[in-house]
Structure 1
């Protein structure tokens, strides 16, 4: 249950982002809601990020935590261990919050019943004269603008995008094939009012601290893709309400690289698809509504769509997507075999 006057911990993982981090902290300095502290989990890189954090300690209650090893989910785990606020808000080191960002998150918990997590809008922007400027109107990293699909694509997606039971009206949801996807009908109203959503992006979301007590991300992540939905699923299984509030917004500065902990671009593209597709195997055995049949259908039909784009439309980037899909299945099957071996050894010891 949320406290009457809740306090907030803002968690920022960062790596080699001193220049942008100063804009993020300056955005926090100007918040309308003041009862919050900032927890910066920093992986040292020698770029002067430590000095930036110390500078803003004049205006903000900032705690600097040094991360010696691991990737973004390991930074998040360090932050979850140390966060003290009733609400833990997540912010990327290249996401500049609106002045009412913390206030909007807090109000979302106060105005709606049994809320365990809130996602906010992530708006692509560029820095112009030191100020963030949105790139286009109604452009969002969370609310998709759906292009027209071919008849074949529409039929195929209606088959593999079937949501888990209970997620039919969610903006962001997990399908029975274990894929993170978006509901086009919900996206039509998501600009105007809060809607249900299995969180969104780690650049802008929050959770109730008591709801994530004891939760930690598994370490088999590099980029953290789909980790938000992994966390959201755990809250959803505890029967918390999860919402997307379009007014709780941040500017996501476009600058080429995202928070990927020093992964080269060619590798990053491949890993992005692999990590997205591995969510099925991370949840397999935990979520009974995941379906092997839907997974096989998704694998075959989505591969057909990508091969068509590659051969007919010469979209050569589909090669990376196809490789990622195949590799995720190989890794996932290896995980399942390891689990079976461990369970078999345990059963032998029990006998």
Structure 2
């Protein structure tokens, strides 16, 4: 019989965590192991869990002493015993059939190493942003990463990357793997999913996005430099650095060359090149310049990190048996 582990990293959001745990209680497919990773200094969450009634949930808590989501997820990963190891955020509420549908996808093909799906984003009871997309979780050959996981529709299909709030992995597929501890950031550490998923693809495993494998996502306050919808120079630089490092490691020599040229001359709204700077100047003025400077700095630092680490094995081994 297949066993499933659910890992939930949390930090100072006990009300959100309570909603997440209640959703996990109502899964149509039983949770076999539930690991909640908690920072040692997070007194709010420890106090909440001290009186929380898990009922049928096989709740297991573990302490993390290092900042950032990567350390929390690696700690959970090191304790996971399931044949399928799933992740969601404390500010998410998985749909009742989340685990059932995820397991069903894994059973269709033994070469599937990861399964994830849509996160329906809410502000209160209102959908944050309306939209439907079939182009989801894809890395284009020259380096642009297409997300759209919160807009995903259509049939289950193969993709390049899943979103951290809604993803699960076959234990055998991630043997010897861990989340990349080189990701910059003291909290969110943007693009850690990209690093992990692309490493999995290099191993030859399939990654499946199924919009019906769904969670409701209530993006909550972050207690680090990354404030989601507000520009912060350090958070912006960190995200661009992380993406640059991951893609340079993943690409061939030719693709690296094309990616670097494209990144500095064109770029995206999240990592500006010159063309994006000129496009945003009329509407964002000095803010566009700040984003561009942070983007260039992030690209350069990402390139430096790649040059530093390209001959060194750095990914923590979290799954060893």
Match of 1:84 among 59, 70, 81: 81
**1:333 partnered with 2:283:** no
How far apart, in 2, do the equivalents of 1:279 and 1:233 lie? 11
* C-alpha distance in structure 2 between counterparts of 1:66 and 1:236, whole Å: 31
* Residue 265 (structure 2) aligned to one of 300, 304, 310: 300
Matched, 1:281 2:245: yes
1:262-301 superposed Cα distances (whole Å, 9 cap, x missing partner)? 3363675642454245333235355426321332123112
1:241 partnered with 2:206: yes
The structure 2 residue matched to 1:195, chosen from 157, 172, 175, is 157
Instruction: Pick closer, same or farther for the CA change 1:102–1:134 going to 2, 3 Å.
Output: farther
Query: In angstroms, what is the RMSD of aligned CA positions?
Result: 3.0
User: Is 1:173 the equivalent of 2:138?
Assistant: yes
* Partner residue, 2:270: none
2:190 is matched with: 225
Q: In the alignment, what sits opposite 1:155?
A: none
Moved more, 304-313 or 324-333: 304-313
Query: Equivalent of 1:314, from 278, 284, 287?
Result: 284
Counterpart of 1:119?
Answer: 116
Given that residues 270 and 321 in structure 1 are in contact (C-alpha distance below 8 angstroms), is that contact kept between their aligned partners in structure 2? no
**From 5, 15, 18, the counterpart of 1:9:** 5
Equivalent residue number for residue 68 of structure 1: 65
1:149-168 to structure 2, matched below 5 A, reads: none
* TM-superposition CA deviations, 1:288-341 (whole Å, max 9, x none): 263213321231123233222333233554334312321112212322453489
Mapped to 1, the partners of 2:212 and 2:302 lie a distance apart of 37
How far does residue 182 in structure 1 lie from its aligned partner after superposition? 4.9
The ranges of structure 1 where at least 4 consecutive aligned residues each deviate by more than 6 angstroms after the TM superposition are none
Query: Hey, what does 1:324 align to over in structure 2?
Result: 294
Counterparts of 2:107 and 2:311 in 1: how far apart (Å)?
47
Contact 2:95–2:214 at 8 Å: present in 1 too? yes
- Out of 14, 28, 33, the residue aligned to residue 29 of structure 2 is 33
TM-score calculated relative to the size of structure 2? 0.82
For residues 85-118 of structure 1, give each alpha carbon's deviation from its aligned partner in whole angstroms, at most 9, with x where no partner exists: 0011100010111111111111110124511001
Partner of 2:127: 135
Which structure has the bigger radius of gyration? 1
Gaps of 5+ in 1: 128-132, 145-169, 343-351
Conserved 8 A contact 2:241-2:301: no
SS of residue in 2 equivalent to 1:201? coil
- The separation in 2 between residues aligned to 1:232 and 1:305, in whole angstroms, is 29
1: CA distance between counterparts of 2:42 and 2:303?
40
Taking the aligned partners of 2:305 and 2:233, their CA distance within structure 1 comes to 22
Q: Which residue of 2 aligns with 1:20?
A: 16
Query: TM-score, normalization: structure 1?
Result: 0.76
Q: In the alignment, is the contact (CA less than 8 A) between 1:196 and 1:244 conserved in 2?
A: yes
CA shift in 2, pair 1:204/1:178, >3 Å: same
Aligned length: 301
The answer to whether the 8 A contact 1:118-1:199 is kept is no
User: 2-side partners of 1:134 and 1:10: how far apart?
Assistant: 27
